[in-house]
Amino acid sequence: MTSLFDSIPIGNAKEDPPMTASDVTATDVAVPVPVPIVSVKPLVLEVPGRGEGLRVRISAPATGSELPVIVFSHGFGSSLNGYGPLADFWAAHGFVVIQPTHLDSRTVGLPQDDPRTPRIWRFRVQDVKRILDQLDLLEAAVPGLSGRVDRSRIAAAGHSFGGQTAGNLLGLRVLDPVSRNTEDLSDSRIKAGVLLATAGRGGDDLTPFAAENLPWLKGPDFAHMTTPTLVVAGDKDDMRMSVRGPEWLADPYHLSPGRKSLLTLFGAEHSLGGIAGYEVRETTDENPERVALIQRVTWAYLRHALGIEDAGWTAARQALSESVAPMGRIESK
């Protein structure tokens, strides 16, 4: 008989010794059997003042009700077509995943001298808010989805530049390079977050290149980022944006108050094993086992943080702490 759950190892399969019956509980996390998903793209929202329609992809399980939502913000240059390893997994395991294409996407082709460029970071935040404002319209556009979405359980997630975008919605404040002010752009509709390989403190921590070309990194303020969040960082992720090296990516955890957790991935670089896509060239540390770990830990964390159930998150933390050859570690505050 097939079990309702399949057990997913999160230790390093290449290095772990053969598991005994007593080891299985310590090194496995049970996730539901994946269900078929429905994915619709592009859905286009009109946004006055943006200059481009906001293109959106929605992926959702074909069955189930009271489905929580993840709005995912891509890294610089990507689009709604990226991050399939995460979006597909989350959708197949019970989430509605919404992926906007931001103005910095290579598919948009915005010139560097476009007047929108200095505030590209802010347009990204506004994209997510627009999606939340238009959830009724988006839900109705996906066959069979109407009436199955839980609006009380919405999370924001993002990778790299997208992590900062999600962070803004969780309470992170950015020094606007145009107005020279910081502003609260958080959104109370978002109840939890996942920040993957996300920039840390600005100022003297930045390299000259980052300070000159990425003005939204100059003065992030994490003091108001109080929403429950999982920060994911690779201990070999040397982005060359900071003089501090990989430890810089843990700042969103250490510098923000409230309930936070940090997943540090051993040996991971900026693509964290390949989360940006199934065959993307920018993956420098391809590692399917690491991607599988991220899929399951982020899924378990969001179910915990959104108040769905705690068992998966408890099991994930226990599995990594007790594994003889863990692929990472989790700490919480």
Please give the domain boundaries of the chain with CATH numbers for all domains. 5-332 (3.40.50.1820)
> What pLDDT score was predicted for residue 315?
92
What predicted TM-score, i.e. pTM, was given to this entire model? 0.91
Any idea what the Cα angle at residue 196 is, between residues 266 and 163, rounded to 5°? 155
Interior/surface letters 163-197, b for 16+ CB within 10 angstroms, e for the rest: bbbbbbbbbbbbbbbeeeeeeebbbebbbbbbbbb
Three-state DSSP string of 102-164 = CCCCCCCCCCCCCCCHHHHHHHHHHHHHHHHHCHHHHHHHCCCCCCCEEEEEEEEEEECHHHH
Three-state DSSP string of 308-332 = CCCHHHHHHHHHHHHCCCECEEEEE
In angstroms, the CA 212 to CA 206 distance is 9
Q: Is residue 213 within 8 Å of residue 178, measured between CB atoms? A: no
Quickly count: other Cβ atoms within 10 Å of residue 280's Cβ.
Answer: 16
In angstroms, the CA 217 to CA 77 distance is 17
**Strand 192-196 with 149-159, pairing:** parallel
> What pLDDT score was predicted for residue 231?
98
Six-digit token string for 233:
């960082």
Low-confidence ranges of the chain (pLDDT < 50): 1-27
**Residues paired with residue 1 on neighbouring β-strands, in sequence order:** none
Residue 257 half-sphere exposure toward CB, CA atoms < 13 A: 5
Q: pLDDT tens across 243-273, in order?
A: 999 999 999 999 999 999 999 999 999 999 9
> What pLDDT score was predicted for residue 57?
98
